[in-house]
């Protein structure tokens, strides 16, 4: 009875070891990614193909606009043009908190490694017009780039070259400008004479590309354009111009998959390759689409070679366990018994 019990214990240890190896290795899963977008009173989340649409924030009196993601902290930031606030929550819309009050902001850019948030505002009871930076919790705001009478609209950050980009949509010409993150070395990157006013920005720094969505006024209606240039403003090209007037606001890049996304107020989010080809419209049936942000992360995948390695390791554990059991059964003749 004692020997049988010992054998049972050994078998259990072998089984436990196999289960441990299997449990430590993640199972292969499909690539993931999420789109976040704002509309009148709502912030929604969905998969990159438009499926699994979920409302994560709903407030009838709100007007969420610009969106920004801090993926390491799993947090979503946005501006609200109705409540005149900058807010944040989890990526699921939980734990909503007001970070800055008294701001009419169309743009937010985050610098998490330095705990900094950049945002713009018109003149208010609290702030003068310009681009500000603060801690990511909204504390210690300081004016970085004062307005020259033409307020900034969208903003975007180049964290590699430490540059801030912003658009100016009023007056002529309409502009895209950039400066160092401390506000120094302001320069005009793109001047818009024949191309309409830029209202949103996105950067692909690795490919030296600046993307924008822009609005043109045609017979009293807004008509969106999507264009790009080099980061220095050279090689300007139009990627998309619709046949009928529609108003667009947000733009975002999914560089790992080679896609650009933009919102249109005809209830669609448009997707195309980074060169503007193969455009697809996802009709969501949601009016007044505004800002957009992309979580481009993918889930962990197990390569085929790793799976084979796991299988070999499990067979080795079983083989070693079998030898141990045989030796326990054979006693003093363990060597000859194992060879047999």
Summarised one tens digit per residue, pLDDT across range 260-293 is: 999 987 789 999 999 999 999 999 999 889 999 9
The pLDDT of residue 248 is 62
Give yes or no for a contact between 35 and 54, defined as CB atoms under 8 angstroms apart: no
* Confidence check: pLDDT of 176 > 90: yes
Q: How far apart are CA 129 and CA 147, in angstroms?
A: 6
Q: How far apart are CA 75 and CA 15, in angstroms?
A: 41
Give yes or no for a contact between 33 and 297, defined as CB atoms under 8 angstroms apart: yes
Cβ atoms within 10 Å, residue 91: 17
Q: Which is it for the CA torsion 281, 287, 288, 293, positive or negative? A: negative
Which uninterrupted H or E stretch holds 171? none
Residue 255 DSSP symbol: G
The residue among 30 and 151 whose pLDDT is bigger is: 151
Q: How far apart are CA 210 and CA 122, in angstroms?
A: 25
Residue 99 binned pLDDT confidence (cut-offs 50, 70, 90) = very high
> What does the pLDDT look like over 125-134, one tens digit per residue?
789 999 999 9
For residue 24, what are its two tokens? 């430590």
For residue 280, what are its two tokens? 């697809």
Give yes or no for a contact between 210 and 164, defined as CB atoms under 8 angstroms apart: no
* Confidence check: pLDDT of 5 > 50: no
> What does the pLDDT look like over 59-80, one tens digit per residue?
999 999 999 999 999 999 999 9
Q: Which is it for the CA torsion 109, 203, 48, 270, positive or negative? A: positive
pLDDT, the chain, mean: 81
**DSSP letters for 172-194:** SSEEEEEEETTS-S-EEEEEESS
In this prediction the pTM is 0.78
Residue 235 DSSP symbol: S
Q: Which of 90, 115, 291, 114 is nearest to 200 (CA)?
A: 291
Which uninterrupted H or E stretch holds 250? strand 248-254
Give yes or no for a contact between 124 and 145, defined as CB atoms under 8 angstroms apart: no
**DSSP letters for 74-114:** TEEEEEETTTTEEEEEETTS-S-EEEEES---S-EEEEGGG
Angle between helices 2-24 and 304-330 (to 10 degrees): 170
What does the pLDDT average to over 34-51? 95
Q: Which of 63, 121, 103, 66 is nearest to 77 (CA)?
A: 66
Give yes or no for a contact between 129 and 175, defined as CB atoms under 8 angstroms apart: no
* Confidence check: pLDDT of 306 > 50: no
The pLDDT of residue 223 is 53
Residue 201 binned pLDDT confidence (cut-offs 50, 70, 90) = very high
Give yes or no for a contact between 69 and 254, defined as CB atoms under 8 angstroms apart: no
Pick from 81-85, 116-120, 316-320: least confident: 316-320
Q: Over pLDDT 90: what percentage of the chain? A: 60
Residue 18 binned pLDDT confidence (cut-offs 50, 70, 90) = very low
């Amino acid at each position: 009875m004692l020997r049988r019990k010992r054998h049972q214990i050994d078998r259990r240890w072998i089984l436990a070891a196999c289960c441990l190896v299997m449990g430590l290795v993640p199972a292969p899963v499909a690539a993931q990614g999420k789109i976040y977008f704002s509309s009148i009173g709502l912030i929604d989340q969905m998969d990159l193909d438009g499926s699994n649409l979920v409302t994560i924030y709903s407030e009838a009196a709100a007007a969420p606009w610009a969106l920004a993601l801090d993926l390491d902290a799993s947090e979503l930031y946005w501006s609200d043009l109705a409540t005149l606030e900058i807010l944040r929550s989890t990526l699921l819309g939980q734990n909503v908190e007001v970070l800055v009050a008294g701001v009419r902001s169309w743009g937010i850019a985050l610098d998490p490694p330095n705990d900094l948030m950049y945002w713009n505002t018109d003149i208010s009871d609290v702030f003068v017009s310009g681009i500000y930076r603060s801690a990511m919790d909204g504390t210690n705001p300081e004016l970085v780039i004062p307005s020259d009478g033409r307020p900034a609209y969208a903003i975007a950050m180049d964290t590699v070259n430490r540059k801030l980009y912003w658009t100016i949509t009023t007056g002529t010409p309409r502009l895209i400008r950039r400066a160092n993150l401390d506000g120094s070395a302001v320069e005009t990157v793109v001047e818009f004479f024949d191309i309409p006013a830029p209202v949103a920005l996105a950067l692909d720094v690795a490919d030296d590309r600046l993307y924008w969505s822009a609005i043109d006024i045609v017979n009293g209606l807004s008509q969106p354009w999507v264009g790009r240039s080099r980061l220095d403003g050279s090689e300007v090209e139009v990627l998309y111009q619709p046949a009928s007037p529609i108003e667009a606001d947000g733009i975002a890049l999914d560089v790992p998959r080679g896609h650009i996304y933009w919102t249109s107020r005809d209830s669609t989010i448009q997707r195309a390759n980074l060169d503007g080809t193969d455009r697809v419209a996802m009709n969501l049936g949601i009016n007044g689409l505004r800002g957009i942000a992309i979580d481009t992360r993918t889930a962990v995948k197990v390569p085929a070679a790793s799976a084979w390695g796991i299988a070999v390791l499990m067979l080795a554990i079983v083989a070693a366990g079998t030898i141990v059991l045989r030796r326990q059964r054979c006693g003093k003749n363990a060597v000859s018994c194992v060879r047999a």
